[in-house]
Amino acid sequence: MTPRDGLFMQIITDTGELAQFCDEAARAPYVTLDTEFMRERSYYSKLCLVQMALPLQEGEQGDGRAVLVDPLAPGLSLEPLWALLRDTAVVKVLHAARQDVEIFYIDGGVIPQPLFDTQIASMVCGFGEQVGYETLVRKIARANLDKTSRFTDWSRRPLTEAQMRYALADVTHLRVIYEHLRRMLERNGRAHWLDEEMATLTSPETYVTHPDDAWRRIRTRSNSPRFLAVVQALARFREEFAQSRNIPRSRVLKDDALLELASTRPESGEALGQSRLLTREARRGEIAEGILAAVRAAMALPAEALPRASEPENGQLQVNPALADLLRVLLKARAEESGVAQKLIASTSELDALAGGKRELPCLRGWRGELFGADAMRLCRGELALMARGARVQAIVLPEPDDKGAAAG
């Protein structure tokens, strides 16, 4: 325990202390979590700090039952933490959890379950799109955060008092936020909405980067299959090299240099040296050899094995612009009624796809289907009308056609 202005900040540096806290956490209904990490000089995030807090007991307040765990402490094993994250009897509460969960999965081979992401829960509860933790602290916990330590070097030791206070605030206020959002979800009956969103966050596939697919993240101006084959081969080499050395992709090959090489397709070290964008380190040694091997492999591919650019989304659909506009009006009405951000329900491209006849879309499934998709399909089939009542838009289900009346008319 380290005293700080009358409070005690527990910094765990010993495996036994960590096991003791995690044993206590295993008896709690939930634990709030956050991490601090560095990624500027590595491919994988370097875990520098873990923050945890347990529900306050009667009479406790402030930083009570909150600890900092120092993963950089010599001899410290995080196995007690991994065991806690595997314990399905304890809810793990995080805010904007994706990067934290990726670290847990890469470092410990574990994905925390059950998981409650307060950023996603807040969107489901009507707080807006991708609402920040600071906003929730202000609106729900009625407190303000000191963010001056946000971009400090978390790998340096000792940690400053400001860093520790900042880190603890990321889990102590989270208790109030979680309990408030959980009650809201119970009242509005949307808990299953959150469960659907958590399925993606808790899927191991979310955190696996496949080198063969790395080229799809690169924006290209040419759709020539041979050009794309070289881009694919270079991106695959870069991803594998960066992963194996744990260095950033940009240290191997930046995107602009990769695209230049896909155009020039060097066949020798001399040709490689003529690149305008390639770094000095990449012109020799293992990187140079990998680049030349990737180019040769791509150039040797038979025509039938060359990659093809993905069709532009909705590019082949005959979009009905009037129907797309009506779908936008319906979406806006449903978002205002529910207090859920429009972009969380359906994207603009999804609406255009709907208006073009596409049906395999996220907005038609699960809670999105309940809130918007079912009526959107009725609108597409001509079974729903939209009517303005003052500032509100009302959806009206049309009666089925009267065959006799239609025939008589």
What CATH number did the domain enclosing 162 receive?
A: 3.30.420.10
310 falls within a domain:
no
Collapse the DSSP code of 85 into the 3-class scheme (helix H, G, I; strand E, B; otherwise coil) and give the result.
helix
Count how many Cα atoms sit within 13 Å of the Cα of residue 386 in the half-sphere of its side chain.
20
Kindly tell me if the per-residue pLDDT of 39 is higher than 80. Answer: yes
Torsion on CA atoms 85, 89, 92, 98, rounded to nearest 10? 60
Model pLDDT, residue 189: 92
Q: Greater confidence, 404 or 157? A: 157
Model pLDDT, residue 398: 87
Counting residues of the chain whose pLDDT is more than 70, the rounded percentage is 92
> Using 50, 70 and 90 to split pLDDT, how confident is the model at 56?
confident
Instruction: Please check whether residues 289 and 366 belong to one and the same domain.
Output: no
Kindly tell me if the per-residue pLDDT of 405 is higher than 80. Answer: no
What tens digit of pLDDT does each residue of 254-290 get? 999 999 999 999 999 999 999 999 999 999 999 999 9
Model pLDDT, residue 69: 98
29 falls within a domain:
yes
In the listed set 185, 207, 229, which residue is the last one of a domain according to the structure?
207
Model pLDDT, residue 256: 96
Counting residues of the chain whose pLDDT is more than 90, the rounded percentage is 78
Model pLDDT, residue 121: 94
Kindly tell me if the per-residue pLDDT of 174 is higher than 70. Answer: yes
Instruction: Please check whether residues 45 and 131 belong to one and the same domain.
Output: yes
316 falls within a domain:
no
Low-confidence winner among 249-253, 327-331, 385-389 (lowest mean pLDDT): 385-389
Kindly tell me if the per-residue pLDDT of 356 is higher than 60. Answer: yes
Nearest CA among 312, 367, 346, 299 for reference residue 129: 346
Instruction: Please check whether residues 162 and 225 belong to one and the same domain.
Output: no
Strand partners, 393: 388
Q: Which domain holds residue 51?
A: 2-207
Strand partners, 93: 32, 116
Full-model pTM: 0.86
Q: Greater confidence, 351 or 317? A: 351
168 falls within a domain:
yes
Model pLDDT, residue 159: 94
> Using 50, 70 and 90 to split pLDDT, how confident is the model at 42?
very high
Kindly tell me if the per-residue pLDDT of 5 is higher than 70. Answer: no
Model pLDDT, residue 63: 63
State the total domains in the chain: 3
103 falls within a domain:
yes
Instruction: Please check whether residues 10 and 56 belong to one and the same domain.
Output: yes
Q: Greater confidence, 409 or 103? A: 103
Instruction: Please check whether residues 146 and 266 belong to one and the same domain.
Output: no
Instruction: Please check whether residues 57 and 91 belong to one and the same domain.
Output: yes
What tens digit of pLDDT does each residue of 75-89 get? 999 999 999 999 999
Nearest CA among 160, 173, 166 for reference residue 2: 160
Instruction: Please check whether residues 199 and 252 belong to one and the same domain.
Output: no
The residue assigned the tokens 């920040």 is 132
d(CA 268, CA 295): 10
Domain of residue 282, CATH code: 1.10.150.80
What tens digit of pLDDT does each residue of 230-258 get? 999 999 999 999 999 999 999 999 999 99
15 falls within a domain:
yes
d(CA 377, CA 119): 29
Instruction: Please check whether residues 57 and 163 belong to one and the same domain.
Output: yes
Instruction: Please check whether residues 193 and 240 belong to one and the same domain.
Output: no
Model pLDDT, residue 119: 94
Model pLDDT, residue 2: 45
What tens digit of pLDDT does each residue of 92-140 get? 999 999 999 999 999 999 999 999 999 999 999 988 887 899 999 999 9
Amino acid (one-letter) located at 115: L
Contact 249, 42 (CB under 8 A): no
Sign of CA dihedral 267, 273, 279, 283: positive
In the listed set 176, 207, 238, which residue is the last one of a domain according to the structure?
207
d(CA 245, CA 239): 10
d(CA 254, CA 216): 15
Q: For the residues 41-46, what does the mean pLDDT come to? A: 96
What mean pLDDT, rounded, does the chain reach? 91
Instruction: Please check whether residues 97 and 178 belong to one and the same domain.
Output: yes
Instruction: Please check whether residues 63 and 202 belong to one and the same domain.
Output: yes
In the listed set 169, 190, 207, which residue is the last one of a domain according to the structure?
207
79 falls within a domain:
yes
Q: For the residues 145-154, what does the mean pLDDT come to? A: 86
Instruction: Please check whether residues 87 and 221 belong to one and the same domain.
Output: no
Model pLDDT, residue 311: 58
